[in-house]
Amino acid sequence: MKKLPNNTALIIVDVQNDFCSGGALAVPGGDAVVPVLNGLIPLFQTVVYTQDWHPANHCSFSKEPHYIDLSWPVHCVQNTTGSALHPRLDVVQDAVIIHKGTNPAREAYSGFQGTSLASQLNARAVTTVYIGGLATEYCVRDTALDAQKAGFLVWLVTDACRGIDLRFAERTFKELIACGVKTTASKTLLSLS
């Protein structure tokens, strides 16, 4: 399989146990992104995995989820099974691993917020990023927008994403397109190799 140009990277957002089937904050159909992403990983020289990596006293935690005020059940606590990447997700040997949401007093949906992601991509001369993962309306959205703000050309791989609520996920796709984020499907990327 031929790789995409060296200036491209794949950012896999939060494909963690707590966001998949049986997890504390499971995204409906979240497991379905794993085989799609596994098919794309060999195309890229640079693969980034972001992980929610919350301290146990994180400000967004509540006993019951309240999506309107963005309060969530306890999830992805550092060094727990829930924070681990999905067991069937392929993890490349020289992967860039980004932990986010580590400040107990601040929510951080984006893989760029308070992390070294932009500088690590710049150090590898990456100019274009492809993004997939969980959940479309939150961490995928904010990562895509912040990637764009950081100067990267951003592509969202639509079939490699799942959202908490289908209506909001569809709105998010439209919002991102209106902001200049491009969309593609995994089969289109695979046809380039």
pLDDT tens column, 145-169: 999 999 999 999 999 999 998 888 8
Q: Which residue has the tokens 């274009």?
A: 128
Task: Name the token pair of 1.
Answer: 């399989």
pLDDT at 127 over 70: yes
Catalytic residue among 52, 139, 142, 146: 139
100 is catalytic: yes
pLDDT at 78 over 70: yes
With 0-12 / 13-18 / 19 or more C-beta atoms within 10 angstroms meaning exposed / middle / buried, residue 61 is middle
Catalytic residue among 14, 18, 31, 52: 14
The residue-averaged pLDDT of 122-133 equals 98
Catalytic residue among 20, 100, 142, 161: 100
Cα 112 to Cα 147: distance, rounded to the nearest angstrom: 7
CA 160 to chain CA centroid, Å, is 10
63 is catalytic: no
pLDDT of amino acid 68: 45
> pLDDT tens for residues 10-47?
999 999 999 999 999 999 999 999 999 999 999 999 99
52 is catalytic: no
Q: Determine the longest span between alpha carbons in the chain, in angstroms.
A: 47
CATH architecture of 8-191: 3-Layer(aba) Sandwich (3.40)
pLDDT at 65 over 70: no
pLDDT of amino acid 174: 94
Cα 176 to Cα 168: distance, rounded to the nearest angstrom: 12
The residue-averaged pLDDT of 55-74 equals 71
Parse the chain into domains and list their residue ranges. Answer: 8-191
The residue-averaged pLDDT of 105-118 equals 94
At residue 70 the predicted structure's pLDDT band, cuts being 50, 70 and 90, is: low
Mean pLDDT of the chain: 93
* pTM exceeding the 0.85 threshold for the entire prediction: yes
